[in-house]
Structure 1
Amino acid sequence: MQCLLREQPRSLALANREYALVFHSVPQNKNSLSVCIAEFVSLSEKPLDGFRRISNRPIYGTLGLIELENSNFLCVITGASEVARIREGERIFRITEVCFYSVNRPTWDHIRQEGNSLDTGDGYDSEAPGYDASRYTSEPFGSLRKLLTNGTFYFSLDFDITSRLQLRTSHAYTDLQSDTMHEQFMWNEFMLRQLFKFRSHLNSHEKDVMDACCFYTCVIRGFSGTEPFKLGMQNVRLSLISRLSSYRAGTRFLARGVDDDGNVANYVETETILDTPNYSVSFVQVRGSIPIFWEQEGVQMFGQKIDITRSFEATRAAFEKHFSDIIKEYGPVHIVNLLGTGSGERSLSDRLRQHIQYSPEKELIHLTEFDYHSLIRSFEDANKIRPMLYGDVESFSFYSEKRNGEAMVTQDGTFRTNCLDCLDRTNVIQNLISRMILENVMIHTRQNAGYDFWQIHSTLWANNGDALSHIYTGTGALKSSFTRKGKLSLTGALNDLSKSVGRMYINNFQDKGRQETIDLLLGRLIDQHPVILYDPIHEYVNHELKKRENEFSEQKNISIFVASYNLNGCLPTSDLEKWLFPDDNPMADIYVVGFQEIVQLTPQQVINADPAKRREWETCVKQLLNSKAKYGTNYVQLRSGQLVGTAMIVFVKESCLPSIKNVEGTLKKTGLGGVSGNKGAVAIRFDFEDTGICFITSHLAAGHTNYDERNHDYQTIANGLRFKRGRSIFNHDYVVWFGDFNYRISLTYEDTLYCIEQGKLQNLFENDQLNNQMLTGEVFPFFSELPITFLPTYKFDIGTDIYDTSDKHRVPAWTDRILYRGELKQTAYNSAPLYFSDHRPVYASYDASIVKIDKAKKKKLFEEIYMQRKVEVRDANSTSYTLIDISGSVAEKPNLIPYVPANGMDKLKKPSLDNRKWWFEDGLPARSIAARPGNDYQLNPDRPVNPFTPSKEPDWIKPEKCLTLENRQEQDPAVNSQSNPLHSLDASHPALIPQQSPSKPTKPSKPERLAAPRMKPALPPRSNPSSSNSTSLRSSPSNIPPTPPPRKSTNTTPQPDLLGSSPEDSKLTWKPLV
């Protein structure tokens, strides 16, 4: 890959032999955001005319874009050395040189950025011509360049270096996708953020090409190393990868404790990997600062005083978030606390112990406290901690997979080790834990590792400790000689003393600058924003494709039948037709059958589940399906899976097989904190045409009031189930989740039986734990369930319809449920009358709409819209190469391309305003304005407010027709009646305000104030129902309450009436009203 430059108009391009990623500069003003315009082009269609190479050096990867001193820089890797080869085809490189190229300014084009404190091995070192150390401070990117080339940043072009082996797939060695990368360990996420967004706008082919071309490179910080050696007659590799978290990154005394999001300082995931010709083994452990809020000064006369800055109550949320994230990622956690008994460290240990005691996850957290300084004097002394760790070393196990990618064993838990800095003491104990795991591997594989093997192992861990210590403190680890040789020596003690003095100087005089550079790289400085990449063409094309989806896709309906049964370890003793064929409806295209307790949950079965019973059920169900199928229709088993007692079998019509692809299965344990498979879930997913479907059957924690643990099981399964390419259960169009959820009814045994006998199922459902937990959003968000019309399915006396009559009197409950997510149409939901278990089986049927995309049509339509839009924009800009107008300034939300109407959009009317609507022809106003008959007319105040009320009053009158209150009351006492609603209006009402004449009126005389006291309406008299002469309230005139007098108008200007008046009216004189 090469970096090319075009000077006028200025553009940068990353190009290989076939494709190019082009960045166009955009002129900016002081108030605009940093913006570049991005294009992804095929060189066969659009050669890069006018571009030249910036440098002769090859480019290994792209770190991203960053704004420095009002310039947008593209950062690329120009020097790298291979440091590790994890497995065949999985290489890791260390960054030795980077270059920054400005997208929008030529200021730094003449500067040679070739030369660095690390020898790259190709002639570019600190003695090379053109190297000037002063440029590290004079150039805006100098400090960043120094940080990125200090030997602690690593990348891979072959696999996702941010994810551990257990999360990666066997076929994904060269499949780098931004969607599956672990953001926590990605140190250039800020620089790549907009590039990932740009990638999301591309079509699937362009995404694959962009991924393969390595136009973006994800970088970790920490350590990577591999040592090859002979184990018996086999050539094997031992590797170590440490990934430092970027979430609370910083230097020793500026990053301590936890933040409000649960991220801790110096949090590192370290993975030990043993690769052999037949299998690969991986084990992951973590380290990190004590997860409470605490600080420590750098220079103190009598040691470093520890200051706990928040109370226990104010720390709980962050503490619980931290361990919740670890448990969600790895499973149960064993904390190895190496703090001493001094006053400062003891206070941290006391607070840690207190938080664990009150943690809701305490069942999954095991704490071992080991005072390292007082107990360890030699390497042999470190073995004192072995008995405290051995139990979880066995139970957590390790991850192992065959050469074809099939997992044999999975790691189900991790160790979290800490001391004060999580450096020297921590590295020694993590080295010991890693050794204990590898010893287990040797026992299981019946191999013998000699002295040389363990020496290589210790050397890798010593190098790891030095690297992590350099990052956090600026010097190597203090106890590296102890780790390498297994003993303390005088030379090692003197080296540790020298490193301690160096740490003191660096931590107190250089850490602030180092911290600012780290924050700059991670995008955490105040007012720092990512460089925005604008891609107008693809945004428009994707929008058009979504609108025209029906042109390249078609839909068809399929039917799905889902059934669930807790077998209580039994085999079928009765006909299953009532369960699998409850109606006379046509048979479904897909049958999914889930079982719980397919075997008795004995310790022997939990340790080594017997698949024999599952195979019997597979045969039984398949024979029944084919016996009921019509002639010519055949059902085949698509896939099955089993986790101890939980199992799932999927059958499909043979005619559907050509439409089904990408079939995968996975398991998740939740029993005993994720270690045991007596509880857990089995999931199977596949694509039916271009629609993703996922089925999960699960058996959750038991116990009448134990719904919190069931909620936790749900969270563990929902977040922990992963298919290939990092796909979760929620990355599907349709999800059906069913099984024995074990949620109970929160009523007594007697009350529940009474509601069942009375048929009051609604009362039971209102007390159903699953229903209530879903309403509060604790579990199954966005899942649906049809109304339950069947009786509780648990617990029966076996062989009868009688609920539990044993001494325990278990409360009947709907433990067996079927939920779904997505636009499925559910057509049935019921239980079946089978009696050979203490549960009743349930079933549900669905109609699903399947989308089939004609990829050739979609690609052709994409190209048509794309080329059409390119022509439109090019014509609008009148430029030969650039697709976008790059002249002028850019505002905060830039309009970077001229408006090019499409599909007749230029014929649309102008938008409506308050006084004009586009649907009124010839410029008619938006509001109707009533015209007066003449200037000497005004609205009649005696006219009813409702214009549809019949009235003899004219709409307009002349001013002389208006009477003062006294005259009107003298001449017409009925004016106060209820028939005149205008009298109750406020004086400001438009109907009571006389209109001004356009001509200037004569100045009126001072108005006479007339008293108009407020009057409360009188209550109507009560009618005597016993009186024979009583009349109805509606017909009795005496029952009409008097109306208060109208408010007087404050307008003193006489206004002409608009209608003619009678001779009597003309005799009345104008009198101003108040």
Structure 2
Amino acid sequence: MAPTLPFRDINVHASPSHYAFSSPSSPSSPTLVVDRPSGDLRLHDGKLLGTQRVSSIAGILGIIKLRLDKYIIVITKAQPMGRLKGHMIYKVIATEFLPLRERPLHDPDEDTYLSLIKTLLKTGPMYFSYSFDLTNSFQRQAESDTSAPLWKRTDDRFFWNRFVQTDLIDFRTGGGNAHGFRQSLGQQPGMDPYILPVMFGMLEIKNTSIKGKPLTFVLITRRSRHRAGTRYFSRGIDEYGHVSNFNETEQAIILNDDSSSGLGGFAGDLGYQNGKIGGAAAQERQVLSYVQTRGSVPVYWAEVNTLKYTPTLQIRGVESATQAAKLHFDEQIRLYGDNWLVNLVNQKGRERRVKEAYEQLVKSLVSAPTEDTEADRVTREKFHIVEPERQKHELDRLHYIYFDFHNETKGLRWHRAQLLMEQLREPILQHGYFRGVDPPAVATESKSGTDRRLW
């Protein structure tokens, strides 16, 4: 059974009583109706008469409620960024807000809120695809249920517009919100094509060829929707284990990425011959992927903004953050396996307290920690390593490495960063990368390779 994918074309019709959304390429699909001014949702079979067509849109970003009104946020312009495994990827270029009420007078507060959100949407890099799950790494995609609707396959952390999609998803899953109370309406699968997941972050796709063989370089950074914020306003961890400004960066190479070869899944390690990629199945589409994650130091800390150039740094007791840190690293280990915690902050000055708090936290999490410090004539401490003495429990899969990056590379001596890479050489080789293969025009069961991360 083919999966339900978001509509690629949506027409918007408006009337004083409602907005109607329908896909001209899918005339048999129900029309989504948003009643005005309540914001109640319903699906209508067939076209609605007596409404005026407003525009064609690329998708519905979501519905947001501000101080006085609700607004439907629609994507009015999207720019193609390239293809991944034959799937076109788009960047959000322009959005529009459709108010549910007609306000005769402008409210200064409401206008300010709208202006702030519009600025965020205009400047924030957001990407989506109608048929490819951008929120999941290639390995997680290989292990997912491709028969499910696209929005159900997403990684909740990187489903950036998940909050403003709440009304649509609640209606889809059987809960309506009518005039302030929930009303059970049953499952509404007809809503699936209207729910479009969007990723926030960075994406680059570069196509080239080597000896006539197609080759695609891909770099994707997915920003978590949890505890997001600007650098000085959001730091540390919260009680749910979410760290500030968490990102997952995936570097991938796709071999033989010919868009005409179809939209297949992975078929495991079928292309190896004598340890080399390729061989008899030279035209297999192959994905080689490596993933890293980053996030704020997982203790309770903040930088208090004042009129001074350098904010005051405050750290609460490490003990109070231990439970939250356990939640965070439990998820990290479940998703990524062993974690190498690479800390690059300054070991002197105001950042020293953050470094020491991080090391104290790791020592409290792992069993019988052992420490090793390596220094040279350039700096007192070049490396500081915390490792569990013996494997006892799940959190012993944490491995802490501090590298005095700023001191070691000062004076434009960037080559000294190689010292860190040498320190990480063994774990990188040990844990490898993910490799998936698509046999030409063959649908097979997916099989994953190795998926490891540095954090």
The unaligned stretches of length 5 or more in structure 2 are 1-9, 175-184, 257-283, 367-393
The one of 48, 73, 79 equivalent to 1:81 is 79
Q: Using the alignment, how far apart are the partners of 2:169 and 2:231 within structure 1?
A: 32
Aligned to 2:31: 20
Alignment of 1:317-716 (within 5 A): 317-360=323-366, 361-376=394-409, 377-404=412-439, 410-416=449-455
Q: Using the alignment, how far apart are the partners of 2:149 and 2:208 within structure 1?
A: 29
Task: Answer 1 or 2: higher relative contact order, Cα 8 Å, separation at least 6.
Answer: 2
Aligned to 2:102: 106
1:254–1:380 distance in 2 versus 1, CA, 3 Å: same
Q: Could you tell me how far 1:140 is from its partner in structure 2?
A: 5.3
**Over the residues paired in the alignment, what is the CA RMSD in angstroms?**
2.7
Structure 2 SS opposite 1:250: coil
Q: Could you tell me how far 1:173 is from its partner in structure 2?
A: 7.1
Q: Which residue identity is paired with 2:195?
A: Y
Q: Using the alignment, how far apart are the partners of 1:350 and 1:216 within structure 2?
A: 45
Q: Using the alignment, how far apart are the partners of 2:143 and 2:52 within structure 1?
A: 40
Contact map agreement 1:244 1:266 (CA 8 A) in 2 = yes
Contact map agreement 1:153 1:220 (CA 8 A) in 2 = yes
The one of 56, 62, 65 equivalent to 1:64 is 62
Aligned to 1:39: 42
1:24–1:164 distance in 2 versus 1, CA, 3 Å: same
Contact map agreement 1:159 1:172 (CA 8 A) in 2 = no
The unaligned stretches of length 5 or more in structure 1 are 27-34, 112-134, 417-1074
Q: Using the alignment, how far apart are the partners of 1:185 and 1:154 within structure 2?
A: 11
Q: Which residue identity is paired with 2:222?
A: R
Q: Which residue identity is paired with 1:64?
A: G
Contact map agreement 1:96 1:151 (CA 8 A) in 2 = no
Q: Using the alignment, how far apart are the partners of 1:392 and 1:108 within structure 2?
A: 64
CA distances 1:568-600 after superposition (whole Å, capped 9, x unpaired) = xxxxxxxxxxxxxxxxxxxxxxxxxxxxxxxxx
Kindly indicate whether residue 305 of structure 2 is the aligned counterpart of residue 293 of structure 1.
Answer: no
Q: Using the alignment, how far apart are the partners of 1:282 and 1:338 within structure 2?
A: 24
CA distances 1:330-384 after superposition (whole Å, capped 9, x unpaired) = 1110111111221322222222112111215442011111111111233422212
Q: Using the alignment, how far apart are the partners of 1:137 and 1:374 within structure 2?
A: 48
Alignment of 1:134-283 (within 5 A): 138=111, 141-169=114-142, 176-201=149-174, 207=189, 209-211=190-192, 213=193, 215-277=194-256, 278=284, 279-283=286-290
Aligned to 1:11: 18
Q: Using the alignment, how far apart are the partners of 1:320 and 1:181 within structure 2?
A: 24
Q: Which residue identity is paired with 1:271?
A: E
Contact map agreement 2:75 2:92 (CA 8 A) in 1 = yes
Q: Which residue identity is paired with 1:234?
A: K
Higher helix proportion: 1
Aligned to 2:384: none
Structure 1 SS opposite 2:232: coil
Contact map agreement 2:139 2:451 (CA 8 A) in 1 = no
Q: Using the alignment, how far apart are the partners of 2:298 and 2:305 within structure 1?
A: 20
Contact map agreement 2:237 2:324 (CA 8 A) in 1 = yes
Q: Could you tell me how far 1:170 is from its partner in structure 2?
A: 8.4
Q: Could you tell me how far 1:172 is from its partner in structure 2?
A: 6.9
Q: Using the alignment, how far apart are the partners of 1:385 and 1:255 within structure 2?
A: 28
Higher strand proportion: 2
CA distances 1:433-466 after superposition (whole Å, capped 9, x unpaired) = xxxxxxxxxxxxxxxxxxxxxxxxxxxxxxxxxx
Q: Could you tell me how far 1:387 is from its partner in structure 2?
A: 1.5
Q: Which residue identity is paired with 2:299?
A: I
Q: Using the alignment, how far apart are the partners of 1:39 and 1:96 within structure 2?
A: 29
1:245–1:384 distance in 2 versus 1, CA, 3 Å: same
CA distances 1:246-279 after superposition (whole Å, capped 9, x unpaired) = 1111111110111111111111011112111221
Q: Could you tell me how far 1:174 is from its partner in structure 2?
A: 9.1
Q: Could you tell me how far 1:137 is from its partner in structure 2?
A: 8.1
The one of 90, 93, 97 equivalent to 1:96 is 93
Aligned residues with identical type, % of pairs: 25
Contact map agreement 1:159 1:174 (CA 8 A) in 2 = no
Aligned to 1:115: none
Q: Using the alignment, how far apart are the partners of 2:446 and 2:146 within structure 1?
A: 16
Q: Using the alignment, how far apart are the partners of 1:381 and 1:263 within structure 2?
A: 32
1:331–1:348 distance in 2 versus 1, CA, 3 Å: same
Q: TM-score, normalised by structure 2?
A: 0.75
CA distances 1:522-571 after superposition (whole Å, capped 9, x unpaired) = xxxxxxxxxxxxxxxxxxxxxxxxxxxxxxxxxxxxxxxxxxxxxxxxxx
CA distances 1:948-980 after superposition (whole Å, capped 9, x unpaired) = xxxxxxxxxxxxxxxxxxxxxxxxxxxxxxxxx
Contact map agreement 1:84 1:239 (CA 8 A) in 2 = no
Alignment of 1:987-1002 (within 5 A): none
Q: Using the alignment, how far apart are the partners of 2:41 and 2:447 within structure 1?
A: 45
Contact map agreement 1:398 1:409 (CA 8 A) in 2 = no
Structure 2 SS opposite 1:5: strand
Aligned to 1:48: 48
Q: Using the alignment, how far apart are the partners of 1:175 and 1:141 within structure 2?
A: 34
Q: Using the alignment, how far apart are the partners of 1:296 and 1:357 within structure 2?
A: 24
Q: Using the alignment, how far apart are the partners of 2:246 and 2:204 within structure 1?
A: 19
> How many pairs align?
370
Contact map agreement 1:136 1:145 (CA 8 A) in 2 = no
Structure 2 SS opposite 1:141: helix
